[in-house]
Structure 1
Amino acid sequence: MKLSITALALALSLSSSHAFTPPPTLSSLQSFTSNNRHETLISMNIPAPTASGGATPEEIQAAANNEPPPSSFFELQRASVRAAQAAINDGKTLLEVEFPPLPAQVLDMDDVSAYDVAKANVNLALDFARSFVSTDEIEGDVAVMLPDESECNIMLEDLKLEPKPYPGVILTSLRKGEEGDTRMFKPENLFIGLMGRGSGGTVKPIEGVGMYVIVVASAQELPDVEELYEQIKTPTTDGGKEPVIVFYNLKLDVLRGDLGAPAFPGKDFQDRFLSRVKPVYYLRTRQYSRSVSQPPFIINFQGCIFRSYPGHFQTLLDTGTGRYRKVVGNDLRPALGEFKEQLTDALREEGAIAKKEEEGALFGFLRTGYKTTTWWEDEREDASLEWRT
C-alpha cells in the first residue's frame, strides 16, 4: 500500500530533531498540516513587525537581518505570514513567498510526482490564506488561485474540499469559463496562451477579495497574473486598500529561465512585471561540488539564500552539523554565481579549500567559467533591477 505524501512527511518529521537541517536532509521540517499545530496558527493573531511592542525600525531591521531559518513547518509558516504582513504594511502589493514545500527525503523519492508537490503547495497556501482572514492588512476574503478551472476542479475533488473550504478563503482559478461551459479542456485558451495574447478576457478580479495567492502556475500562465494585477492596481476612490497578489512557491527563478523561448512570454516580461515582485520570505537551497588537488579531492558543500522581510538577504553555509552559519548579509539579492562564490570564500577561510588551489588566473577561469549569471541577473541596458531589493 502506497503511503500518502502527507502521512510520510509527518512520519519523517516526527522521527527527527527540531534543529533545522537544510536540504537534502530537510526532514526536520515538521509537517505544518498536523492538527494540533494547524488550529494554533490559524487562531493566533501574529503582529506585524511595525507593531511589535514599540521596537524601533532599526531594532526590527537588525532582528530580521539575523533571523535564522525555521526549525519546523509551523515556524516557517508563521514567519512567512509575519514577513508578508510587514511588507503589506510598507505598501508592497506584489509579494513572493518561496520555500521547499516538503522534506527533501520525500521530494527525492521516485514515486513523488509534480502533482504530489502541487497538492502540498495548495494545502500550505490555504493555511497561509487563513492567516490573513479578518486582519488589518487585508480587506475582504483571500482567494487561492490555480491557473484554470480544470486544475481547480481536480484539486477540489482530490482534496475533498469545497470552493470555500474555510471562512473567508476561496479556492478558485485565474481563468474563468463562460457560464454553462463545463469543458475540462478548452483548446482556445491554450492557443491564446501560446500566442502570448493574454487570457482573452477570462481573467477577472473577484468582488470582495483583498488578497490573491497564486499557486502551481507555469511561465506560460504568468501573464494571466499580470492581467489580473492590471485590473486591480487602480487605487480605490473610497480609501480602501489595494488588493495584494502573492506568488506562492512558484519557483520564479526557474520560470524566468523559460522567458523568451518559443511559446513562452518574451524576456521583456521580466523587466516589465516579474522584477517588481518582492521576495518577502525566501529560502532557496543550492548544492555544489568542487574538485581539489589533495584528499578528499571532491568537496561537497551546500547553503541557502534566506530572506525574511524587512531583513536583508543572508548567505548561509551548511556547517554539516544540521545548522547554518551566516556568511554575509546582502542588501541586494546576490546572483547565483555570486552566492556560490560567497560560499566558496567561506570554505577557503575555514581551510576546507587551500588558497593555493586558487592561484593562477587561468585556473580560476576554468573553475568558474565565462558565464556565472543567468540572463535575467545581468545588468543589461534598460533592465530593471528591482528583483534584487
Structure 2
Amino acid sequence: MPSRSNFLAPGADIRVEGAPDGPLRGRTFVAKDLFDVAGARTGAGNPDWARTHPMATKNAWAVQKLLDAGATLVGKTITDEISLGLLGENAHDGTPLNPRAPDRVPGGSSSGSASAVAQAFCDAALGTDTGGSVRVPASFCGLYGIRPTHGRLPLQGMAPQAPSSDTTGWFARDAATFLAVSQAMLDERPPTALPNELIVAVDAFGFADEAVRDALAPAVKRLGALLGSVREDLLAPQGLSVWGRAQRTLQMAEAWKTFQPWVEQENPRFAFLVARSLLAGSMVEKADLAWAALMRDEARGRLAHLLSGDAILCMPTTPSVAPLRGQPLPVLDRARDRINCLAAHGGLAGHPQLSLPLGEAEGAPVGLSIIGARGADMTLAAVAQALEDQR
C-alpha cells in the first residue's frame, strides 16, 4: 500500500461511500483539494486558504456525480498552491511521488490526484485543468487524463482560478476504467464509429524534444492505422509561443481577479512562485488583454477549422519528460514556459483533450494527446479503448 502522506492533502484522509447500485460500484476515487466534500475543509494547497474558508456543507458537483455512480471517495489530494502550477511542487504540503519516475516531479497542479492513481491507491481521481493541470501530470505519471470540453460540466463546489479556462478533469490507469468514469461524468455512451482521419500537429512534434518524438512515433503510427487516414498540419500558425503568451496573459489576469479580494483581505502566505504569478496578473495592461483576447478568437477559429470534419488531432502532451525534483528557479521557469506552449490551446479554444500513456523517454513516461471537436469527449475515450484493445 502506498504511503498516504505523499499525496493526501492535510486532514483529508476521508472516506465517503458511493451509491450501492451505480455503474462504478466497487471502484474508488480521490478528489483534488479544490473540490468541496461535505464535512471537510477545502485547503487549495495553502494553509491560509484553509484557515479563512468555512467547512464545506455539500459535495462539489463532480464529487457527487461519482458518488451517485457508485464510486467511493477515499481521500482528498495535494494540489499546487491555489492551483497555480504545472510541476506539482508545493512548498506547504510537499511534492507527491511520481512512482513511474521517483526522482522527477509528478506534474501539477493535480499532482496528488495523479500520484494516487499512479500508485494504485485508487482506481480514478478528479483533478482540474485550467492551463494543463490534468494533461501535464497524466503525461508525467503515465496515466489517462482528460481536459473535457470547456463549459460542458458544472463546476459548482470547485475552487475557481480562471473561469474562462477552468475545467474538471479525471485520471485512470487503464482505458476501460477511464471509459467507465467518462460515461458516468458525461452521461453519454461511446460512439459506435471512430473518427476517420488523424491530423498530426507537426509544429507541436517539432517543438518537443527529440527523445519525446521518437518515443511517441510508434503510437502515432498505431493511431493512424486505427483511423485509416493521416495528414500533417500546423496546430498554431501564429506560433506555439504566441498562443502560450496569450493564454498566460488571460489566465494570470483572471487568476488575480479571482484571488484579489482574498489576498487584500487576508494577506496570506505564498511561495515565491505563486506570489510572483499573482503579482504578474495584477499588472497586465488592458492593451495586452485585448491582444490576448483576439489571439483566443484566432485559436478558436483554427481548432474549429481543423476539427470541423470527422477528425482528431494528435500531439505530444508535454515537450519533455518530467523535470527532476528540486531544480533551481531558472530551470523550472524554462520547463514551465515550454509546457505552456503545448498546453495553451486548451484554455484558448476549449476543445476536449485526452492524454494517453503511450510513450517512454529517458526512463520516464510521456503522453500522446488526442484532441477532438467541442463535445467529442466520449469519442476520445472510445479511441483510447480501441487502441488498448489492439494490444
Bucket of the pairwise TM-score, normalised by the shorter protein: under 0.3
